[in-house]
């Protein structure tokens, strides 16, 4: 591990690409930034419990990537006050344990919305215009032209109108697309602007030329796109998932693509990221010529990571300073329950 600045609070960072400006910000606010020296190609989500405990011993703050934040891990780290995700998904954090043990868990809300929305549009264009096949042909010495499909004035279904989903809708305006939307909460601004048409899930699967999912991964949304819903999609349509592996049943998607019941898919996330039994499914998906795949890079640009680093660091500084981070960033806060427990004792 590489200690970069001296300070009052030890803050361990188990993510790569942590910029010097954010390290300086932490140092200026009484924090010692310690970057975990991860093996090449390995992320914090791959590390065993014993290694995580060793890395985080004595830390007051933890800026985390994709590690599982379990009750057992938190209990082994009595000094740890705040777990700050450099990202927005928190399905790998045991929120009940965070509250029960008097800790705080935060996300970098609003920092990577634009970056992921950009990638989503990029995946739509790349798979529809058959970029992968075009480049493979050129590399083989062929100038044959695979005919692609426009995004211009097509019908795009957006499932989930959170920050990223809304960003995708704004970008689609430039393509003069008709946007169908599904969300449990109606965005009155977008509806009033005529930017979206709210429909039910059945309609959004049936009528979309492009379907992109931007929902959180919960028991309710797991395998939202599966055989029962995919079979209603048009054979000329494209499925995009740049949100979370598990929103799409990759086995069912693979079958639909191989049977030509879908035109293609743009994928940044896969079920196999959390379930190794799907590794062969992932390998088959990314081998298909009508799949454009990226290795969960949605938030990973220099600009996007700079923003998420800073928000994650600001959350750490706020908690360690006795303050509360912005409400949009807090996913669990057990400090009051811990105080009540101490008073009762």
Active site residues: 244, 273, 296
Q: In what order do the strands lie in the sheet with 104-106?
A: 2-3, 31-35, 9-13, 61-64, 82-85, 104-106, 330-333
Q: In what order do the strands lie in the sheet with 238-241?
A: 197-198, 178-182, 155-159, 210-213, 238-241, 264-267, 291-293
Beta bridge partners of 330: 106
Q: What does residue 67 show for φ and ψ, rounded to 5 degrees?
A: -70, 150
DSSP assignment of 42-88 equals --GGG--HHHHHHHHTT-SEEEESS--B-HHHHHT-TT--EEEESSS
Alpha helices (H) in the chain, listed in sequence order: 20-28, 49-56, 71-75, 95-100, 113-128, 131-139, 163-172, 188-193, 201-207, 227-230, 250-258, 279-287, 302-320, 335-344
Closest CA to 66 of 274, 248, 247: 274
In whole angstroms, give the CA distance from residue 95 to residue 332.
Answer: 6
CB-based contacts of 228, cutoff 8 Å, min separation 6: none
């Amino acid at each position: 591990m590489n200690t970069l600045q001296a300070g009052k609070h030890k803050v361990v960072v188990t993510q790569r690409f942590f910029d010097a400006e954010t390290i300086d910000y932490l140092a200026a606010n009484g924090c010692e930034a310690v970057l975990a020296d991860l093996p090449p190609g390995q992320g914090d989500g791959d590390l065993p419990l014993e290694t995580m405990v060793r890395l985080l011993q004595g830390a007051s703050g933890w800026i985390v990537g994709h590690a599982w934040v379990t009750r057992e891990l938190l209990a082994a780290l009595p000094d740890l006050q705040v777990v700050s995700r450099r990202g927005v998904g928190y399905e790998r954090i045991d929120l009940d344990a965070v509250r029960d043990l008097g800790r705080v868990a935060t996300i970098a809300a609003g920092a990577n919305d634009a970056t992921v929305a950009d990638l989503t549009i990029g995946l739509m264009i790349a798979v529809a215009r058959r970029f992968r096949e075009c480049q493979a042909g050129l590399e083989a010495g062929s100038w044959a032209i695979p005919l692609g499909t426009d995004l211009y004035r097509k019908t795009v279904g957006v499932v989930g109108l959170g920050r990223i989903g809304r960003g995708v809708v704004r970008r689609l305006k430039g393509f003069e697309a008709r946007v169908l939307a599904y969300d449990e909460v109606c965005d009155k601004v977008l509806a009033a602007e005529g930017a979206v048409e709210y429909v039910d899930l059945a309609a959004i699967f049936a009528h979309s030329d492009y379907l992109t999912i931007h929902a959180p991964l919960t028991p309710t949304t797991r395998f939202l796109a599966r055989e029962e819903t995919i079979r209603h999609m048009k054979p000329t349509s494209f499925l995009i998932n740049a949100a979370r592996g598990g929103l799409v049943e990759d086995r069912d998607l693979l079958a639909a693509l191989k049977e030509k019941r879908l035109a293609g898919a743009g994928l940044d996330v896969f079920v196999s990221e959390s379930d190794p039994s799907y590794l062969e499914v992932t390998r088959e998906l990314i081998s298909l010529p009508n799949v454009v795949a990226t290795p969960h890079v949605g938030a990973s640009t220099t600009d996007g990571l700079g923003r998420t680093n800073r928000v994650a660091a600001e959350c750490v500084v706020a908690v360690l300073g006795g303050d509360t981070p912005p409400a949009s960033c807090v996913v669990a806060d057990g400090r009051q329950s811990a105080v009540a427990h101490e008073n009762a004792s």
